[in-house]
Amino acid sequence: MPAKTGTRHAEELEREYVIPLRPSQHQPSRRRRAGHALETVRRFIVRHMKGKPEDVWIDPRLNERIWERGIQHVPRQVRVKAIRFEDGLIEVDLLEPE
């Protein structure tokens, strides 16, 4: 019986997500909410895109969207587009509101 010689073809994977940030409004102290929201985004993407936390790159526009109302008032949710490249790097971009 011949051995399986099929190679797994790694390619880009692109998905859109709505990430809930509601727990970031209640769980941490008032002066840590925006940072907690960024970590929530990172954990969500790692869980759903099967990556590593150090391989997640967050777009500066998404960072500005989370911080635009200050450290205490984070948005309830953000719409993002995540792309996982062949080398394992995951890029997270903010989706513009339609």
pLDDT for 9-48, tens place per residue?
Answer: 557 899 999 999 998 889 899 999 999 999 999 999 999 9
Residue 84 lies in a domain: yes
* 74 is a domain residue: yes
By residue range, what is the domain housing residue 47?
14-94
Q: Is residue 1 part of a domain?
A: no
Confirm whether 62 is domain-assigned: yes
Find how far residue 36's CA is from the centre of its chain.
Answer: 13
Residue 86 pLDDT greater than 50, yes or no? yes
- Residue 7 pLDDT exceeds 50: no
* CATH number (domain holding residue 29): 3.10.440.10
Q: What is the pTM of this model?
A: 0.85
- For residues 79 and 17, the answer to whether their CB atoms sit within 8 Å is yes
In a domain, 36, yes or no: yes
User: Which uninterrupted H or E stretch holds 17?
Assistant: strand 13-20
Q: How many domains does the chain have?
A: 1
Least confident of 25-29, 63-67, 71-75: 25-29
Once rounded to an integer, what is the mean pLDDT over residues 47-76? 96
**Does residue 6 form part of some domain?**
no
